[in-house]
Structure 1
Amino acid sequence: KRVAKRAKSGYTYRVKINYVDEYGIKQTYSKSGFETKKEARAHGVEIEHELQTKGVLQKDTLKTLNDCFLESMELEKNSLSRNTIIHYNDVFKNHVKSQRIAQIPINRINYTMLQTHFNQLKTLGKSLVTAQKIIFNRAFRHALKCGYIQNNPMHDIKVSYKERNVETHVLTYDELENAISCFLDMRGNFNKYSYCIATYCGYYLGLRISEILALEKTDFDFENNVVTISKKLESRHLKKSEMYLTENMKTKASKAVLPLPAPLKTILLEWFAFDPYDLVCCDESGDFIHEFAFGRACKKIGNKLGFYFHPHCLRQTYITNIVQSGCDIKTASKLARHSNTQTTLDVYTHTNEEAKKNAINKVFGNIDTKNAPNLKVFN
């Protein structure tokens, strides 16, 4: 529908189209300022074609990438864990918000601008680059849903980053016991025992540190030899007095009932007789232990023993040991409480140098150089 309207310089024309959107709601598209009927007619045909082929119209907007990211976080905050929200907001505030590309209307950002931006991040670490890509993706997906853009240019973006020099370390049993010995040499009788128990729980159950520090005695069923994982300690960026338990786990698969290994059962039976509190790992007052405090203690011990030791190494060691034992990947993924088996394959099947040597020796035989075959062909 074209409507003529008198302007100071004469008549101009306005295009007005009534349509029903994807939600069944009546909408009106209107744009004025066309000097001729021909221009108005051509624009009207273009809009009608867009409606027929895509079912939606791209809206004129001044919404920036920053605006779209913040809107998406507000809408989806109930489906994200607190730690995830904190992490994304920190990266957004410190690395994205002030960038020029994040301050222009999102419908003006194209592939070239985006790829140029991410090419400039190649000197940063994998975690930071990946987080920025997630933030950009969230913003563009939100803009697409709102009709601010017609396609998501992030689909074709390639990222590169600086590889970390420190490799994930898979602990041997001797290294585990050496770490336990170092914990026992620490000051504070009760706390050092809690740190030992936390280390054993990580090694034998493959739990995340937030899950270990949330364990209660009632989670363990010694009669049926199982442990229920259903909560975690919310402690990141919180003072000790503000920490709390939550059932909002990392994924749905995080909640599970796991078999209780016999060595850990023996250790815990002795510990439970000594520990007067409901928490399995706590301080001398029965209060929560902050994950950062345990992480610092692990790092200090790792430096002393000469290898990279972080609480998450215990989880990675657990999964690696399960996979290397010959367990099928589906069962290993269930024990790891991953949402899919690919995560188990991609992230946690790390091997140490001794395991690599054993694998080669198993295939080709352990050849001693003194008894190597005499290849006369080279004489």
Structure 2
Amino acid sequence: MRCEKLKSGIWECYDEGPRDPITNKRNQIRRRGKTKNEAKEKVNAEINSLKDGYNKRVGKALTFNDVAEEWLKVYSVSGVKDNTIRSRLCSLKILNSYLRNTKIANINSRTLQNILFEMNDKKYSMSAMENVKVTAGMIFKYAEMNKFIRDNPIKFVSVPRKRLTIEEIENSKIEESYLERDELEIFLNTTIKDGLPMDQERFFLMAFTGMRVGEVCALKWNDINFETNEIRITKTMYMPNTNMHQYKLTPPKTKKAIRTIDVDEDIMKMLKKHKTHQAKIRLSTKKLFDDYHDKNFVFCRDNGYPFCQRNVYDRITSVLKKSGLKKIGGPHILRHTHITLLVEAGVDLKTIMDRVGHEDSKTTYNIYTHVTEKMKKDAQTKMKNRFGDLMELSILPKKNTGM
């Protein structure tokens, strides 16, 4: 390393660094400092960073959006679901509104933390902020792997947590996420009395199988075995912008979601009846549609195209309101209700998770624990009602035995 003192009194040192990884040209590193040692340390620090493989020149040239586009190409062919890619694109849009033209090497933890603070101030949901952090983490991990940056700045960033008020804590009861037995009876009776065509079939199926709404929308007749009373679940519905002509059938998110479930005989009889009715409708409507979509869907429109998840969500919400029940929820309220029915029937947690296609679900565990505890309390109440008079004998005074 060579060093010299400039006329200004500042020291300048320079040395040969690693050759440029792209052009293979020599790379002389020059740094200045108030003292000779300071200038030397700056040169050595830069050379060490280059030896570590960090390509500062490339990092200084690439913008956040440049790297994000590269990452997205790789991520899109990694086997993730279309819904997941769509979610990542939403997060990327938010990130680009702050970072699009910022050099990737100049982005630090403070910058990313301030983005989340601003999102919090703008009342973004917790899930939106968490998705932004996860997406940013993937992009910066890609940049780190390719030596555009030395460290991933997302490691030190936290999603702002909203502190629950006393009212929110009191109102956020787990019972609100499912229907009690008497509530389920009211809901199903309302479905029969005031529901639209296919409401009864879809809602009974969901309540007594725990199927996800996307799985119900994607269900085909060849997935149903009427001889063994089983349903094979292998796919889910993806319908961007609720456009029936743009639907896709995609594999479930996890291997555990691919499953075969036993179905009650009465539910299967209901589906058989629905199949017969659907065949009659198909004969009369097929002639009306030049582009009739004959793909064997269990639940479909008059033109053969499947329904989107939003349609089922709206129908469940509508029936809940008509039933007079105060609980408001989407399709998952029936899925959660099915879990409670299994718990009350004495089914163990592992079997329940296998049936609903969960590998690790906090919600399923919480419902299982809550209902189990409730059953224990109910058991004690039943004991009290049945044998309370015997228990009261325990407080009677003992006879004097002379001892």
The residue type paired with residue 297 of structure 1 is R
Residues 143, 149 of structure 1: 8 Å contact kept: yes
Q: Is the 8 A contact 2:342 2:352 kept in 1?
A: yes
Please give the alpha-carbon distance, in whole angstroms, between the structure 2 residues aligned to 1:352 and 1:294: 29
Q: Which runs of 5+ in 2 are unaligned?
A: 3-11, 283-295, 396-403
Distance in 2 of aligned mates of 1:268 and 1:29: 75
2:69, 2:163 → 1: CA distance?
28
Q: Decide whether aligned partners of structure 1 residues 262 and 26 sit closer, same or farther in structure 2, where only a CA change above 3 A counts.
A: farther
SS at match of 1:204: helix
Corresponding residue of 2:107 = 109
Paired position in structure 1 for 2:228: 224
- Residue 348 of structure 1 and its aligned partner are, at CA, apart by 5.8
Instruction: Name the residue aligned to 1:252.
Output: 255
CA deviations over 1:204-228 (Å, ceiling 9, x no partner): 2222211101111111112233211
Displacement after TM superposition at 1:31 (Å): 4.6
Matches within 5 A, 1:331-350: 331-338=351-358, 340-341=359-360, 343=361, 345-346=362-363, 349-350=366-367
Aligned partner (choices 213, 229, 252) of residue 209 of structure 1? 213
Aligned-pair CA distance for 1:76: 0.8
1:8 corresponds in structure 2 to: none
Q: TM-score, normalised by structure 2?
A: 0.71
What's 1:153 paired with? Answer: 153
Once the two structures are overlaid, the 10-residue window that deviates more, 211-220 or 70-79, is: 70-79
1:124-203 counterparts in 2 under 5 A?
A: 124-159=124-159, 160-161=161-162, 168-186=176-194, 192-203=196-207
- 1:69 shift after superposition: 3.3
Separation of aligned partners in 2, 1:249 and 1:242: 18
Aligned to 1:57: 54
Instruction: Tell me, in whole angstroms, the C-alpha distance in 1 between the residues paired with 2:65 and 2:384.
Output: 61
Cα separation, 2, equivalents of 1:250 and 1:363: 41
Residues 259 and 357 in structure 2, CA contact (< 8 A), matched pair in contact too = yes
TM-score for the superposition, normalised by structure 1: 0.75
SS at match of 2:261: strand
Distance (Å, rounded) in 2 between the aligned partners of 1:288 and 1:184: 22
Q: Secondary structure at the match of 1:141?
A: helix
Q: C-alpha separation between the residues in 2 aligned to 1:12 and 1:357?
A: 75
- Larger helix share, 1 or 2: 2
Aligned twin of 1:275: 278
Whether the aligned pair in 1 keeps the contact of 2:317 and 2:328 (CA below 8 Å) is yes
SS of residue in 2 equivalent to 1:228: strand
Partner of 1:239: 243
Q: CA 1:143/1:323 → structure 2, altered by over 3 Å: closer, same or farther?
A: farther
Unaligned stretches of 5+ residues in structure 1: 3-10
Q: Which amino acid aligns with 2:190?
A: C
Deviations 1:310-336 (A, max 9, x none): 112222222344355444433333222
The 1:300/1:66 distance shift into structure 2, 3 A limit, reads farther
2-structure distance, mates of 1:197, 1:29: 73
For the pair 1:265 / 2:268, whether they are aligned, the reply is: yes
Contact 1:34 / 1:40 at 8 angstroms: preserved in 2?
yes
**1:114–1:157 Cα contact (<8 Å) kept:** yes
Residues 262-289 of structure 1 deviation map (CA, whole Å, 9 limit, x = unaligned)? 3422322332232216321122343312
Does the C-alpha gap of structure 1 residues 161 and 239 become closer, same or farther in structure 2, counting only changes over 3 Å?
same
Number of residue pairs matched by the alignment: 351
Q: Give the one of 322, 327, 332 matched to 2:342.
A: 322
| SS class of match (1:133) | helix
Secondary structure of the 2:240 match is coil
Give the 5 Å matches for 1:64-83.
64-78=63-77, 79-83=79-83
Distance (Å, rounded) in 2 between the aligned partners of 1:58 and 1:363: 69
1:13, CA displacement in angstroms?
Answer: 5.5
Contact 2:177/2:329 (<8 A) preserved: yes
**Alpha carbons of structure 1 residues 324 and 104: separation in structure 2 relative to 1, 3 Å:** farther
> Given the superposition, is the C-alpha separation of residues 19 and 108 from structure 1 closer, same or farther in structure 2, using an over 3 Å criterion?
closer
Note if contact 1:18-1:28 (Cα within 8 Å) is conserved in structure 2.
Answer: yes
Rounded Cα–Cα distance in structure 2 between residues aligned with 1:263 and 1:29: 79
Aligned partner of 2:27 in structure 1 is 30
Conserved 8 A contact 1:320-1:349: no
Return closer, same or farther for 1:326/1:210 CA change in 2, 3 Å cut-off. Answer: same
Q: Given that residues 69 and 135 in structure 1 are in contact (C-alpha distance below 8 angstroms), is that contact kept between their aligned partners in structure 2? A: no
Contact 1:227–1:257 (CA under 8 A) maintained in structure 2:
yes
Paired with 1:180 and 1:248, the residues of 2 have a C-alpha distance of 30
